[in-house]
Amino acid sequence: MSTDLIVSYDGTPNDDDALALGQILARSGASLALAYVRHSREFDPRREEIAEHDAERRLEHGRTWLGDPTIPCHVVVSGSTGEGLLALADAEGAAVVVFGSDYRTTPGHADPGATAWRLLEGGPVPVAVAAAGLRTRPDTRIETIAVFDAGTAGDAERAAHLLADRLGAAVVDSAAGPADLTVVGSQPNAPAGRIAVGGLTRSRLNSVQGSVVVVPNGGELRL
């Protein structure tokens, strides 16, 4: 069974923000799963058992936070968190990978951490980054969606309208003030189906309030 939304989760407070955003996006009818990436296996069986238990404990905490013990959880072993998540997203046919913001992010803003940036630099899967502090407002609805498209293909515009239809939100002018969610398009010179974030887009990501979703060049959001 495929999964629409994969939340990268390690039990830290900012990853609780990712849970909150995943839960909000899942109101579109999308399926949700949690993933934790271990970077290696232990040679000693006892140490391996402890490490596996720690990973499962973190994911169980995420299930508890969401209030749903049936949510699928994945423990991935990969030397790179980003590569592990990309492999899982490919295997699951995921539509979006969801992250929390960097731990230093100002509340209300979204700032991708190192692993999110790994996927934003050539990844094939749309990336969502939760606004810092979203975990304190888990009942929040996405009511307004803004668009920032550095290219001309209209990828972000189409994704924004799809999300608006699924979530009962309105697409608004980005100049009108902060939106609950901003959908960001990739650079027009990015390889087809890949994300590329240039200077203008980086500047937008650094200044935007609310959560963000970044879509690949020519790609579609499949929620």
pLDDT in tens, the chain (223 residues): 578 999 999 999 999 999 999 999 999 999 999 999 998 887 988 888 988 999 999 999 999 999 999 999 999 999 999 999 999 999 999 999 999 999 999 999 999 999 999 999 999 999 999 999 999 987 889 999 999 886 656 899 999 999 999 999 999 987 777 899 999 998 888 888 999 887 777 877 777 899 999 999 988 888 8
Task: Specify the pLDDT at position 150.
Answer: 67
Q: Is 64 inside any structural domain?
A: yes
Rounded to the nearest 10 degrees, how much is the dihedral formed by the CA atoms of 83, 30, 68, 14? Answer: 50
SS (H, E, C) 163-211: HHHHHCCEECCHHHCCCCEEEEECCCCCCCCCCCCCHHHHHHHHHCECE
DSSP assignment string, 46-98: HHHHHHHHHHHHHHHHHHHHHT-TTS-EEEEE-SSHHHHHHHHHHHHT-SEEE
Q: Is 56 inside any structural domain?
A: yes
Task: Specify the pLDDT at position 215.
Answer: 94
Task: Specify the pLDDT at position 1.
Answer: 53
Q: Is 221 inside any structural domain?
A: no
156 CB-contact burial (10 Å; exposed 0-12 / middle 13-18 / buried 19+): buried
Task: Specify the pLDDT at position 151.
Answer: 62
- CA-nearest of 101, 88, 97, 104 to 195 is 97
Task: Give the Cα separation of 86 and 67 in Å (integer).
Answer: 26
Q: Is 163 inside any structural domain?
A: yes
The whole domain housing 28 covers 5-215
pTM above 0.75, yes or no: yes
Task: Give the Cα separation of 157 and 169 in Å (integer).
Answer: 14
Task: Specify the pLDDT at position 154.
Answer: 86
Task: Give the Cα separation of 136 and 186 in Å (integer).
Answer: 30
Q: Is 112 inside any structural domain?
A: yes
Number of separate domains in the chain: 1
Query: How big is the CA angle at 167 (ends 164 and 217), to the nearest 5 degrees?
Result: 45
Task: Specify the pLDDT at position 152.
Answer: 57
Q: Is 220 inside any structural domain?
A: no
CATH number at residue 171: 3.40.50.12370
Task: Give the Cα separation of 119 and 128 in Å (integer).
Answer: 10
Task: Specify the pLDDT at position 222.
Answer: 83
Task: Specify the pLDDT at position 133.
Answer: 96
Contact 214, 197 (CB under 8 A): yes
